[in-house]
A and B are shown apart, each in its own frame.
Chain A
Amino acid sequence: MTTLTEARHARAIERGLLGRLVDRVGGGLVQVALVLIAVFWLVPTLGLLVVSLRGEKENNSSGWWTLFTKPAQVTLENYGNLLASGFTSSFWNTVLITVPATLLVIGISAMAAYAFAWIEFPGRDAVFLVVIALLVVPIQIALIPIAKMYGALDIFGSIAGVVLFHVAFGLPFAIFLLRNFFVGIPRELLEAARMDGAPEWRIFATVVFPLAKPAIASLGIFQFLWVWNDLLVALVFADTANQPMTKALQSQMRQFGTNIDILAPGAFLSLIIPLALFFAFQRYFVQGLLAGSVK
């Protein structure tokens, strides 16, 4: 028994010395590989930024990377032209679509999740299974019927129509995420409130909702990013006056080469807010991802 342990020890020490050497060399190689991968991942976005900062003539005659040898090329002209061209209105449309769509999803899904988690009612499990089933339904299924419906309701092309579409398709994921969080809230907290005779809506608003802040932050950031970055829904349901940035930019794609002085700064402006949000709340972003999913 002892010899076996000793043999193990000897091997462990041997491996320790050799292993450390291998680790050093291997570790160095891993570092180099990871630096290269990181560069590989950064260069495309950097390219977009640099192209947006160069004049039309420079972009047509030389690669964006020449900016690093000739920094004098930097100009804000593209951004100036873009803002003068009315791009700001599509920026505001994006905000007007994204903010209500996010807030409504949070409110409506939190209420439903509360019912699924803490109110007993007949058929609860069956209804919740339907919600889970709806998680994977592709939005393509609703484009044609909802376009018809909006036509009948006379809201086709309006911001309200786009918002409602996003809310409806954001709900299954949101309900699922929040319900899973709510069931983890200690039962005693709710029961104490119920003993005190608090009505359900007040327990929801003053006990459960505040406790769920981290989950709501995760949900909020996903819903925000999903709606902000959406193209397909806007393409179908938003008319030109109400179009968000993604649709406005998409309409410039046909002449990609000649429109790059609009497309590059536009695309970059459209990703500044999501990126800022991502860096500010990445903790919640990652947690939401781990807890459920991404949209």
Chain B
Amino acid sequence: MTERLDGPQAPGGDELAAGASPGPAETEPDVARPPATDTNTDTSTDTDADTATDPTDTDTGTAIATDPRPGATGTATAPRPATGHTAATRLSPSPKIAVFFLLPALLLLAAWVIYPIIYSIFRSLFDAAGDRFVGLKNYAAIISDPSMLATLWHNAIWVAMAPLIVTVLGLIFAVMTERIRWATAFKLILFMPMAVSLLAAGVIFRLVYEQDPDKGVANAVITTVHDTFSSSQGYPGARPRENDQAPVVLKNGDVVTRQPVQPGQQVLIPLVGLKPDAVEKATPAKAAGAGGLSGTVWLDVVRGGGGTVNQIDGTEKGLAGITVEAVAGGQVKATTETAADGTFYFSGLSAGSYDVRLPQSNFEAAFNGITWLGPTLITLAIIGAYIWVWAGFAMVLIAAGLSAIPRDALEAARIDGATEWQVFRRITVPLLSPVLLVVFVTMVINVLKVFDLVFIIAPGSVQPQANVIALEMWRVSFGGGGNQGMGSALAIFLLVLVLPFMIFNIRRFRRDER
């Protein structure tokens, strides 16, 4: 929420506001609107009812809410003032008095906003210290330096992904909440991150993305899901003893019995190389029962020393969940898994001699979650946090637009046999398109200036892989870079990027005023 949205919402917002005042975004008790059966298509009635107590106490939205049509282009911003122009001229105060009202604002804008733009244009043509004229060299560096190009690329990823995802999610959520009674509560929950500073959001997501599944909730969930579907527990480092007495040996990473074994035999597979702590909670190993081809895989180490090598002593721990294969003639004839006490049992093996093999996969490190904050995923991870912050904004704007769509248009289509998908695709989305455009454009402007989230979430070592223009501008001019020529060039570059939206805003405003 620290970023300003600015933007073209003005007129667009007006359109939204049309249906908005009575809309579900507010927490008035009447929010639980009857669902599709609601035949009240005249939103303005709602508006009036809502504001009946005091016609002026309707707020910003209202000036505008006089026009309930969802797709209404314009008129919104100035619905009333055109009346009685002659009277106005007659009664209008002297233009000089305007100076008194405007002076503070114009002074501040001139000195803090307009002068800096002019200053920056000149400053960007000079070197780091500001002594030497370098022409367009700073700009040339922006589009040729490899690390700068990477920075621009990250911004491109942001612009390509974040606005689209936020808008689509907002649309889906807005449509879904139309059908539930607790829509207001849901909207508040999704909207809440907007009140939170991006610094706090950054801290929140640093915690979420913590690598260790015992700390970061994202990896905790992912490893839990992973472990549910894949039984491999992983015993990295476990290996047979390297001497001639050991009944098993290491072969290409697999642990294999030294001698072939026959059904009816009990196979001992003692392993070492694990810290006893690692299996502290495991069940003590047991000898396998007779019959079939059976055996035990266990950690042949007694805590504190002692115990007989290659024999199961009372306190030694069985290794559970290890995949065991019976191999004959190079082919796997049967596969099983060790029980909690380390025993395994092959049933239905035909007579013959087999090698018992524990495949390498048993000894690979357990899945430890995703490296969210590593160089490859960092930008996507930060975009995830951004979506968490902004999806509620998109949802509320779109929901307001949705509530302004005339119900009878939807009903008529349904009665004519249109499916819900057709209604959504052919009627809802086209009628919503002005709102969707406003949300999308607002997000693009916002994303171009993204700074705080990247600065906070990306750990120092991967900041180059997450860098964006706004962050680089701060870094190069204040964060130790000391190059204000380059900083000014980057600021102007950013301004040029938002220039199309500036023109878009002005055009839109002029059209709406007419």
Where the two chains meet, the residues of A that have a C-beta atom closer than 8 Å to any C-beta of B are 8, 11-12, 15, 27, 30-31, 33-34, 37-38, 41-45, 47-48, 51, 59, 61-65, 108-109, 111-112, 114-115, 117, 119-122, 124, 127, 129, 131-138, 140-149, 164-165, 167-169, 171-173, 175-177, 180-181, 183-187, 191, 194-195, 200-201, 204, 211, 213-215, 217-218, 225-226, 228-232, 235-236, 246, 249-250, 253-254, 256, 260, 263-264, 267-268, 270-271, 274-275, 277-279, 282-295
| Residue B133 lies at the interface, judged by CB distance under 8 Å to chain A | no
Q: A44-B208, A181-B63, A213-B57 are in contact. Are A145 and B104 (CB under 8 A)?
A: no
From B118, which residue of chain A is reached at the shortest CB distance? Answer: A145
Secondary structure at chain B's binding surface: helix, strand, loop or mixed?
helix
What are the residues of chain A within 8 A of B93 when measuring CB–CB?
119, 194, 200
What are the residues of chain B within 8 A of A228 when measuring CB–CB?
197
What are the residues of chain B within 8 A of A144 when measuring CB–CB?
116, 119-120, 123, 477, 484, 487-488, 491
- Tell me, rounded to whole Å, the shortest Cβ–Cβ distance linking B248 to chain A: 36
What are the residues of chain B within 8 A of A133 when measuring CB–CB?
502, 505-506
Mask: chain B, 403-442; 1 = CB below 8 Å from A; 0 = not: 0000000000011110000000000000000000000001
A292 contacts B25, C-beta separation under 8 Å: no
| Residue B59 lies at the interface, judged by CB distance under 8 Å to chain A | yes
- Tell me, rounded to whole Å, the shortest Cβ–Cβ distance linking B375 to chain A: 17
| Residue B344 lies at the interface, judged by CB distance under 8 Å to chain A | no
What are the residues of chain B within 8 A of A51 when measuring CB–CB?
207
Mask: chain B, 247-281; 1 = CB below 8 Å from A; 0 = not: 00000000000000000000000000000000000
- Tell me, rounded to whole Å, the shortest Cβ–Cβ distance linking B178 to chain A: 9
Cα A186 to Cα B81 in complex, Å, equals 8
What are the residues of chain B within 8 A of A34 when measuring CB–CB?
173, 176-177, 180, 186
From B104, which residue of chain A is reached at the shortest CB distance? Answer: A108
B92 contacts A140, C-beta separation under 8 Å: no
B197 contacts A47, C-beta separation under 8 Å: no
Give the residue of B20, B91, B112, B117 whose beta carbon is less than 8 angstroms from that of A290.
B20
What are the residues of chain B within 8 A of A141 when measuring CB–CB?
113, 116-117, 120, 491-492, 494-495
Q: List 10 tightest A-B contacts by C-beta distance, closest first.
A: A184-B63, A214-B59, A168-B112, A291-B60, A229-B197, A295-B4, A278-B195, A121-B95, A112-B105, A145-B116
A229 contacts B1, C-beta separation under 8 Å: yes
What are the residues of chain A within 8 A of B179 when measuring CB–CB?
27, 30
Give the residue of B3, B87, B217 whose beta carbon is less than 8 angstroms from that of A65.
B217
| Residue B132 lies at the interface, judged by CB distance under 8 Å to chain A | no
24 contacts between A and B (CB under 8 A): A30-B180, A47-B217, A48-B203, A122-B95, A124-B98, A136-B498, A137-B113, A141-B491, A142-B113, A147-B478, A164-B112, A172-B109, A183-B63, A184-B78, A187-B87, A187-B88, A214-B62, A232-B2, A235-B478, A271-B200, A275-B196, A279-B188, A289-B396, A290-B397
Known: A267-B204, A283-B26. 18 other contacts (CB 8 A): A38-B190, A44-B217, A47-B204, A108-B105, A127-B106, A136-B505, A140-B494, A142-B120, A143-B477, A168-B108, A180-B10, A181-B60, A187-B84, A187-B87, A191-B91, A232-B474, A278-B194, A290-B397
B7 contacts A136, C-beta separation under 8 Å: yes
Cα A217 to Cα B505 in complex, Å, equals 24
From B390, which residue of chain A is reached at the shortest CB distance? Answer: A294
Where the two chains meet, the residues of B that have a C-beta atom closer than 8 Å to any C-beta of A are 1-7, 9-10, 13-14, 16-17, 20-21, 25-28, 56-64, 77-81, 83-84, 87-89, 91-93, 95, 97-98, 100-102, 104-106, 108-109, 111-117, 119-120, 123, 173, 176-177, 179-180, 185-186, 188-200, 203-208, 213-215, 217, 220, 388, 392-393, 396-397, 400, 414-417, 442, 445, 448-449, 451-452, 455-456, 459-460, 470, 473-474, 477-478, 484, 487-488, 490-492, 494-495, 498, 501-502, 505-506, 509-510
Q: A275-B192, A291-B64 are in contact. Are A41 and B108 (CB under 8 A)?
A: no
What are the residues of chain B within 8 A of A45 when measuring CB–CB?
192-193, 196, 204
Secondary structure at chain A's binding surface: helix, strand, loop or mixed?
helix
- Tell me, rounded to whole Å, the shortest Cβ–Cβ distance linking B374 to chain A: 15
Give the residue of A211, A215, A231 whose beta carbon is less than 8 angstroms from that of B60.
A215
A135 contacts B20, C-beta separation under 8 Å: no
Q: A141-B491, A291-B60 are in contact. Are A134 and B101 (CB under 8 A)?
A: no
Cα A147 to Cα B392 in complex, Å, equals 35
- Tell me, rounded to whole Å, the shortest Cβ–Cβ distance linking B190 to chain A: 5
Number of A-B contacts (CB under 8 A): 399
What are the residues of chain B within 8 A of A109 when measuring CB–CB?
105
Cα A231 to Cα B196 in complex, Å, equals 12
Q: Which of A11, A111, A282 has the most CB of B within 10 A?
A: A282
Cα A12 to Cα B418 in complex, Å, equals 11
B189 contacts A114, C-beta separation under 8 Å: no
A180 contacts B77, C-beta separation under 8 Å: yes
- Tell me, rounded to whole Å, the shortest Cβ–Cβ distance linking B324 to chain A: 33
From B513, which residue of chain A is reached at the shortest CB distance? Answer: A125
What are the residues of chain A within 8 A of B101 when measuring CB–CB?
111-112, 114-115, 119, 200, 204
Q: A229-B199, A232-B451, A291-B13 are in contact. Are A195 and B91 (CB under 8 A)?
A: yes
Give the residue of A61, A111, A229 whose beta carbon is less than 8 angstroms from that of B198.
A229
A44 contacts B104, C-beta separation under 8 Å: no
From A184, which residue of chain B is reached at the shortest CB distance? Answer: B63
- Tell me, rounded to whole Å, the shortest Cβ–Cβ distance linking B69 to chain A: 15
Give the residue of A129, A256, A274 whose beta carbon is less than 8 angstroms from that of B459.
A256
Cα A285 to Cα B10 in complex, Å, equals 15
Cα A173 to Cα B112 in complex, Å, equals 15
B200 contacts A48, C-beta separation under 8 Å: yes
Q: A41-B388, A141-B494, A271-B197 are in contact. Are A183 and B204 (CB under 8 A)?
A: no
- Tell me, rounded to whole Å, the shortest Cβ–Cβ distance linking B179 to chain A: 5
From A148, which residue of chain B is reached at the shortest CB distance? Answer: B119
Q: A183-B80, A282-B188 are in contact. Are A140 and B491 (CB under 8 A)?
A: yes
- Tell me, rounded to whole Å, the shortest Cβ–Cβ distance linking A103 to chain B: 13
What are the residues of chain A within 8 A of B77 when measuring CB–CB?
180, 183
What are the residues of chain A within 8 A of B491 when measuring CB–CB?
138, 140-141, 143-144
What are the residues of chain A within 8 A of B112 when measuring CB–CB?
142, 146, 164-165, 168-169
Q: A267-B204, A287-B61, A289-B396 are in contact. Are A12 and B415 (CB under 8 A)?
A: yes
A292 contacts B60, C-beta separation under 8 Å: yes
B3 contacts A47, C-beta separation under 8 Å: no
What are the residues of chain B within 8 A of A292 when measuring CB–CB?
9-10, 13, 60
What are the residues of chain A within 8 A of B198 when measuring CB–CB?
229, 231
What are the residues of chain B within 8 A of A214 when measuring CB–CB?
57-60, 62
Q: A11-B417, A184-B79, A254-B460 are in contact. Are A63 and B199 (CB under 8 A)?
A: no
B199 contacts A270, C-beta separation under 8 Å: yes
Cα A168 to Cα B208 in complex, Å, equals 36
What are the residues of chain B within 8 A of A201 when measuring CB–CB?
100
Q: Which of B4, B60, B484 has the most CB of A within 10 A?
A: B60
